[in-house]
Amino acid sequence: MTETETLKRFAVTQELDLTKQILDEGLNSLDRINFGKDHYYVVFLLIANGLERLLKITIILGLFEKLGHFPTEAECNWRKKGARGHNLETLVDQVTETCYSPKWKANKRGKTDFDYLIGNKLFRKVLKVVSDFGVGLRYANLNIILGKESVRGPEQVWQKMELDLFMIFDPDMVTLSRPEPEKSRDIYSKVIQLLSDSLRHGIGSIARLYTMGELSPLARQASPLLSGYYQFIKDSVLSEDRSS
């Protein structure tokens, strides 16, 4: 093994360790959002950055197994897929195309994870909001200051999604139409939990590639760095009737 190869292998572990720290902080920040106290920008910044890093290092490891060497950026091809490689939706799709072996897709757990990443409506909605923020909405305030075209910020998009989910627990909007703060807080906490679980399950579906999914021997060696994610399976977020 060359010195360059050794350095790259070390960089893989460093990147995964950093990625887990960013995702942990982002998801913990999401969990701390509560009724009347929203801090969306910190959440979006952390989760968008952490997800992009996880998806890209996963694609690199998947290509490493296929090519027999660490890929170049051109071989990774994520920039050609749009948004300079920051579009989380296309990166997730690239992971499912590049990193899921026929054997793992034929496995019951693997197929469930694969189907979740490409088809769970709630996860794809959340992914789009976070992705849009990562691609350009992170500069929404600066764009307004600089007189650029004003678009809806991620907060408005996220709040619309929260409201849609709120109606799952209170379809007639009775709670919001009456001064029942305790009940509102209870439903709001369930909404945030559902959003948080959908992200954690998606991350878990990717992290399981490092263990059961046989992404590559190098991925398996680094898998302890993603502990806490590859064990995460939440059946409640698999139901399509809650993600329409």
pLDDT digits (tens, 9 = 90+) for 105-149: 999 999 999 999 999 998 998 898 888 777 766 677 777 777 776
* Residue 58 lies in domain: 3-231
For residues 89-111, give the mean pLDDT: 93
**242 part of a folded domain:** no
**243 part of a folded domain:** no
Q: How far apart are CA 152 and CA 233, in angstroms?
A: 33
Helices marked H in the chain — which ranges? 3-32, 40-67, 73-76, 88-98, 102-106, 108-119, 121-135, 140-145, 154-169, 174-177, 181-207, 217-222
**224 part of a folded domain:** yes
For residues 25-43, give the mean pLDDT: 78
Burial of 232 (0-12, 13-18, 19+ CB in 10 A): middle
**239 part of a folded domain:** no
The residue with tokens 């992914």 is 127
> Crossing angle of helices 181-207/154-169, nearest 10°?
110
Domain count, the chain: 1
Confidence band for 43, pLDDT divided at 50, 70 and 90 = confident
Is the pLDDT reported for residue 82 higher than 90? Answer: no
Question: Which residues pair with residue 37 across a beta bridge?
Answer: 34
Q: Which residues of 21-36 are buried (b: 16+ CB within 10 A; e: fewer)?
A: ebbebbbebbeebeee
**217 part of a folded domain:** yes
Is the pLDDT reported for residue 81 higher than 70? Answer: no
pLDDT of res. 78? 81
Provide the CB-side half-sphere exposure for 202 (13 A, CA): 33
Q: What is the mean pLDDT of the chain?
A: 82
For residues 53-57, give the mean pLDDT: 96
Contacts of 216 (CB under 8 A, 6+ apart): 61, 62, 64, 65
For residues 171-187, give the mean pLDDT: 63
In degrees, rounded to 5, the angle at the alpha carbon of residue 19 between the alpha carbons of residues 223 and 202 is 70
Higher pLDDT, 228 or 53: 53
Percent of all residues in the chain with a pLDDT value above 70, rounded to a whole number: 79
**244 part of a folded domain:** no
Is the pLDDT reported for residue 244 higher than 50? Answer: no
Which of 78, 25, 86, 19 has the alpha carbon at shortest distance from 50?
19
Which of 81, 91, 79, 98 has the alpha carbon at shortest distance from 53?
91
Higher pLDDT, 137 or 22: 22
User: Of 81-85, 94-98, 132-136, 205-209, where does mean pLDDT reach its minimum?
Assistant: 81-85
pLDDT of res. 32? 85
The residue with tokens 């408005």 is 156
The one-letter amino acid code at 206 reads I
**55 part of a folded domain:** yes
End-to-end CA distance of the chain: 50
**143 part of a folded domain:** yes
